[in-house]
């Protein structure tokens, strides 16, 4: 998945040593805000000291982030992980991606317009008879 927007927060890096392999690890978390009529925010992670350094994400940058979403279970609760695998400078001239066809066989994708255009005139409002505001109760 891809998301474009402005980096509004750079959180402190976290790190440690893997209990299983004994190697060091680092993860950095960033928050991006989309450029839409109703902006949305998304926190994502970059895993690995080399990738953090290579991507060099700074607050205020306009970026397009490609990421994977995964979920894992910890003591009966589920948590999402949104991990970036590619970061590119934002290109405002890039065309938005076309809606993909339905991933479910036999199910048609939704059309762009929810209702077909109609050339028929709207039906007149029902008449209340003599024009008084009498209610039936």
Q: Domain for residue 120, yes or no?
A: no
Domains in the chain, number: 1
14-27 residue pLDDT tens: 999 989 999 999 99
- Nearest CA to 10 among 23, 22, 25, 27? 27
- Domain of 50 in residue numbering reads as 2-89
CATH number of 45's domain: 2.40.50.140
Is residue 38 included in any domain, yes or no? yes
Q: Any residues with CB less than 8 A from the CB of 78 and at least 6 apart, and which?
A: 71, 72
The list of the chain residues with pLDDT below 70 reads: 94-137
pLDDT of res. 92: 76
Instruction: Determine the pLDDT at residue 100.
Output: 44
In a domain, residue 82? The reply is: yes
Residue 111 lies in a domain: no
pLDDT of residue 125: 54
For residue 76, tell me if it sits in a domain.
Answer: yes
User: What's the confidence (pLDDT) of residue 110?
Assistant: 46
Output the pTM of the full model.
Answer: 0.65
- Whether residue 117 is contained in a domain is answered as no
């Amino acid at each position: 998945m891809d998301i474009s927007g402005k980096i509004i927060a750079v959180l402190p890096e976290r790190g440690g040593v893997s209990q299983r392999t004994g190697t060091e690890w680092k993860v950095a978390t960033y928050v991006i805000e989309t450029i839409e009529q109703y902006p949305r925010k998304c926190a994502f992670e970059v895993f690995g000291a080399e990738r953090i350094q290579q991507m060099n994400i700074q607050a205020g940058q306009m970026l397009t982030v490609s990421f994977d979403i995964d979920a894992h279970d910890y003591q009966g609760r589920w948590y999402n992980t949104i991990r970036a695998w590619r970061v590119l400078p934002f290109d405002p001239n890039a065309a938005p991606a076309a809606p993909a066809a339905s991933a479910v066989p036999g199910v048609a994708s939704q059309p762009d317009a929810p209702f077909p255009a109609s050339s028929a005139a709207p039906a007149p409002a029902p008449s209340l008879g003599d024009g008084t505001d009498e209610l039936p109760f």
